[in-house]
Amino acid sequence: DAAITTEVGAIGNNTSGGNAFSNTVDDARIYDRALGAAEIAELAGGSVPPPPPTQYTLTVETAGTGAGSVWLDPAGGVYDEGTVVTLTATGETGSEFTGWSGDLTGSVNPAMVTMDADKAVTATFDRTNTAPVAVATSDVISGVAPLTVNFDGSGSTDADGTIVDYEWDLGDGTGLNGAAVAHTYTGAGVYTVTLYVFDDDGASGEATLTITVTEPQKEPPVAENQSVSVAEDGSVGITLVATDPDGDVLTYAIVSMPGCGELTGTAP
SS (H, E, C) 145-213: CCEEEEEECCCCECCCCCEEEEEEECCCCCEEECCEEEEEECCCEEEEEEEEEEECCCCEEEEEEEEEE
CA–CA–CA angle 108, 113, 114 (5° rounding): 155
User: Cα–Cα distance between 5 and 50 in angstroms, integer?
Assistant: 33
User: Do 138 and 108 contact (CB within 8 A), yes or no?
Assistant: no
User: Cα–Cα distance between 113 and 58 in angstroms, integer?
Assistant: 9
Sign of CA dihedral 228, 230, 233, 234: negative
User: Cα–Cα distance between 25 and 7 in angstroms, integer?
Assistant: 15
Residue 136 in this model has a pLDDT that exceeds 60: yes
The residue among 256 and 134 whose pLDDT is bigger is 134
**Mean per-residue pLDDT, 241-268:** 76
Residue 204 in this model has a pLDDT that exceeds 70: yes
CA nearest 172: which of 138, 147, 136, 154?
147
The residue among 24 and 249 whose pLDDT is bigger is 249
What's the mean pLDDT when you consider all of the chain? 86
Q: So what's the architecture of 137-214 in CATH? A: Sandwich (2.60)
pLDDT winner (highest mean) among 212-216, 223-227, 252-256: 212-216
**Per-residue model confidence (pLDDT) at position 208:** 98
Provide the residue ranges of all domains of the chain, joining segments of one domain with +: 2-43, 55-127, 137-214
User: Do 176 and 168 contact (CB within 8 A), yes or no?
Assistant: yes
**Mean per-residue pLDDT, 70-74:** 98
Among 43-57, 111-125, 253-267, the least confident range: 253-267
CA nearest 202: which of 159, 162, 152?
162
Residues forming a β-bridge with 192: 210
**Per-residue model confidence (pLDDT) at position 6:** 47
Q: What percent of the chain has pLDDT over 70?
A: 85
